[in-house]
Structure 1
Amino acid sequence: MSFPVRAITLDLDDTIWPIAPVMVRAEAALDDWLRRHAPATAERFPVHAMRALRDRIAAERPDLAHDFTQQRRLTLEHVLRESGDDVALVDAAFDAFFAARCEVEHYPDSEAALARLAGRVPLAALSNGNADLQRIGLMPLFRFQLGAREHGRAKPDPSIFLAACERLGVEPAQVLHVGDDIELDIVGGARAGLRTCWINREGRHWPHAGLRPDLEFTTLAALADWLDAGHRTDTAAA
């Protein structure tokens, strides 16, 4: 399939790097920090209990579905208060967690593929998560990073896709959204009027009969190959 692509928006977690090992390390780093600075909290709320509480707070606060940072901070406030530790430690505790959250290990193809894509069209990061591309070191490849927390609504809400297109100065039909999540990225992007590319690294089955991604690849490198193979791009927005 060939169609014009003047810009690309990209999901981050599980598209550029796997998120599960990142979260395991971040939760362990937070637990280690609490054991040194708030031992009563660490004793009462080990990793599994902290995770369960964070999930409960997320379920109880649907108004914060777009804001993982605030969900995590509320969790920390709760556990410190319940354990009798100083609630003023929230900022430092979150910083310990977030530093590890931004220590990602890219999929083997990601960095080289992103450089190739960025050489063809403008890239924008579009994520429901709170990873910081500046800390991670990928920001030079992107025009901007738009997170659900910053925008106020999360994917698959059309408004976050359209806000990214507006900042790019490109019509949605000429923007390709790339991601791993079937509902958040592919269905959400398509309903907002963008072209879509499903990064299906695990060979999952596509579940929808009436809607399909415009492109499907197992790696970002394959997407870069698709662009390099002479498919139509327009760098006027670059």
Structure 2
Amino acid sequence: MTSTLQPVTALTLDLDDTLWPVRPTLIAAEKVLAEWLRANAPSTAQNTPPAAMLALRAEVAAEHPHWAHDLSAIRLETIRRALRKHGDDPALAELAFDVFFEARHAVTLYDDVLPGLERLASRYPLIAVSNGNAELHRVGLERFFAGSVSARLHGVAKPDPSIFQAACAAAKAPPHRVLHLGDDLDTDVAGALAAGLHAGWICRPDGAHADAAPRAGAHRFATLLDVADALGV
């Protein structure tokens, strides 16, 4: 393992479900949004329970496939459409989204993340590569990273090779010298390998792919501390 990764000079990391579990965070953020709507757009709150909001978001995503990489745009339009549909002021959508977006960053890091990032960042430039809309400074992790590449700003999402290439450029390292770490076997692992990077699968017990077999050519880790150990940091 260590000898295979000796040429690595930079690391790229996924965020959601790699550094924190995203589902409980989003559920909590949805509740915060619902409370805000009850106070500021009661008709929308009453007529748009979680299942209805989810269906509306799917409708927006289907109508705007060019937003597939931009979860913020989809979420904002969903809120705007719900407000309009139920007779509340659609101009409230941006305020409502801001409330949701703030709550979306109230993440609970996995226990290994802070000590793991501390060790990894002491030797390697770290670049965040995410299909989500989390922002490093909002979750208090900016100090560990040399940069970030988001699907929303880049224009396409993982597993498109170009987002990995952009991350390598940000790290000032060629793909074959970069190790990408992420939880998703398709977008992270397969995507990184196809783009010429090393791939590290962060397979946590609560992960969606926890029982799956690793992809050929990928390295399996349970935590970031395991990655640091393997790299001798």
TM-score by length of 1: 0.92
Contiguous gaps of at least 5 residues in structure 1: 230-238
How far apart are residue 61 of structure 1 and its match? 2.0
Contiguous gaps of at least 5 residues in structure 2: none
Task: Look up the equivalent residue of 1:154 and give its one-letter code.
Answer: A
Alignment equivalent of 1:174, drawn from 170, 174, 177: 177
How far apart are residue 220 of structure 1 and its match? 1.1
How far apart are residue 207 of structure 1 and its match? 6.4
- Superposed CA offset, 1:29-79 (max 9, x none): 100110011001001112221122112222332211100000001101100
- The residue aligned with 1:73 is 76
- The residue aligned with 2:132 is 129
For residues 134-145 of structure 1, the aligned pairs below 5 Å read 134-145=137-148
For residues 100-115 of structure 1, the aligned pairs below 5 Å read 100-115=103-118
For residues 201-212 of structure 1, the aligned pairs below 5 Å read 201-202=204-205, 203-206=210-213, 208=215, 211-212=216-217
Q: Is the 8 A contact 2:14 2:183 kept in 1?
A: yes
For residues 54-73 of structure 1, the aligned pairs below 5 Å read 54-73=57-76
Question: Which one is further off, 179-188 or 165-174?
Answer: 165-174
How far apart are residue 167 of structure 1 and its match? 1.7
* Distance in structure 1 (CA, Å) of the matches to 2:159 and 2:166: 13
- Superposed CA offset, 1:138-182 (max 9, x none): 001001121000000000000000011112110000000000000
For residues 6-155 of structure 1, the aligned pairs below 5 Å read 6-155=9-158
* Distance in structure 2 (CA, Å) of the matches to 1:56 and 1:186: 29
Alignment equivalent of 1:227, drawn from 205, 228, 231: 231
* Distance in structure 1 (CA, Å) of the matches to 2:113 and 2:138: 17
> For 1:92, what is the secondary structure of its paired residue?
helix
* Distance in structure 1 (CA, Å) of the matches to 2:204 and 2:71: 25
Counterparts in 2 of 1:21 and 1:150: CA distance versus 1, 3 Å: same
* Distance in structure 1 (CA, Å) of the matches to 2:214 and 2:142: 33
* Distance in structure 1 (CA, Å) of the matches to 2:51 and 2:159: 29
> For 2:55, what is the secondary structure of its paired residue?
helix
Task: Look up the equivalent residue of 2:217 and give its one-letter code.
Answer: R
> For 2:58, what is the secondary structure of its paired residue?
helix
| RMSD, aligned α-carbons | 1.2
Task: Look up the equivalent residue of 2:229 and give its one-letter code.
Answer: D
How far apart are residue 13 of structure 1 and its match? 0.4
Number of aligned residue pairs: 226
Runs ≥4 residues deviating over 3 A: none
- The residue aligned with 1:190 is 193
Task: Look up the equivalent residue of 1:225 and give its one-letter code.
Answer: D
How far apart are residue 97 of structure 1 and its match? 0.3
TM-score by length of 2: 0.94
> For 2:129, what is the secondary structure of its paired residue?
strand
